[in-house]
A = this chain, B = another copy of it.
Amino acid sequence: MPINNTIIFIVELLLKNVAKHVQLNKEEEQILLDSFVLTRHPARTKLLKSGEVCINSFFVVSGILRNYCLDDNQANEHTINFATTDWWIADMYSFLSQKPGNSYIEVVEDAIIMTQSREQQLAIFERIPKMERFFRILMERSLIANQQRLIDNMALSAEERYKRFCQRFPTIKYNVPQKQIASYLGVTPEFFSKMKKKLLMEK
């Protein structure tokens, strides 16, 4: 794909994502686009490390990002979320408070992303109040999804959670290491391996 077409595709992806919830005019669209920076990163790049302030939030154009943290003794990873094409991701606590966080954001699969700093975001809220609405709705939806995941973790077995995961992230299933899926579901890689085998044999 020629570079110009690629850039048109990226711009459209972001604008359509916003247009799902609020209508912007051409001028507003341009102001919004100017507040983002387009970057590419190979797999394994760490975009954020524990202890740092999460200055930026990321809109994923292609590839896969992952937000995770370590438990108290630094022994186990817990995946907070994955993000693929057309998703937003950040360390919410650190990004919103602009204080040091305790999570990591890493590139799982080579990624093209649109980056917006908290400073730029707040400036956009002032210049385009409709974007305040957009992020309110984004927060509302994240909260609902997160609440549902919490309930699933309490009410469902690991097997059922895995089935829901496959529905929610149909593509991710084949593109991230199994141990990362396990750490999203809240089980060990060993148990996940056993569970997967059992599911295969049942078919």
Contact = CB atoms under 8 A, between A and B. Distances in A.
Interface size class on chain A is 20 to 34
Given A69-B151, A92-B143, A153-B186, 5 more contacts: A78-B154, A80-B151, A136-B136, A136-B139, A139-B143
Interface of A: 69, 71-72, 76, 78, 80, 92-93, 96, 125, 129, 132-133, 135-136, 139-144, 146-151, 153-156, 186
A147 B93 contact: yes
Nearest to A75: B155
A154 B186 contact: yes
B143 A133 contact: no
Contacts of A150: 80, 146, 149-150, 153
Pairs A-B, 9 closest by C-beta atoms: A139-B139, A136-B136, A71-B155, A154-B186, A143-B143, A146-B146, A93-B144, A150-B150, A78-B154
B155 A153 contact: no
A98 to B, nearest CB: 12
A115 to B, nearest CB: 19
B71 A147 contact: no
Contacts of A142: 143
Contacts of A146: 143, 146-147, 150
Contacts of A69: 151
Contact of A78 (B76, B135, B155): B155
A105 to B, nearest CB: 14
B76 A147 contact: no
8 contacts: A72-B155, A80-B151, A92-B140, A132-B133, A136-B136, A143-B143, A153-B153, A153-B186
A28 to B, nearest CB: 15
A189 to B, nearest CB: 14
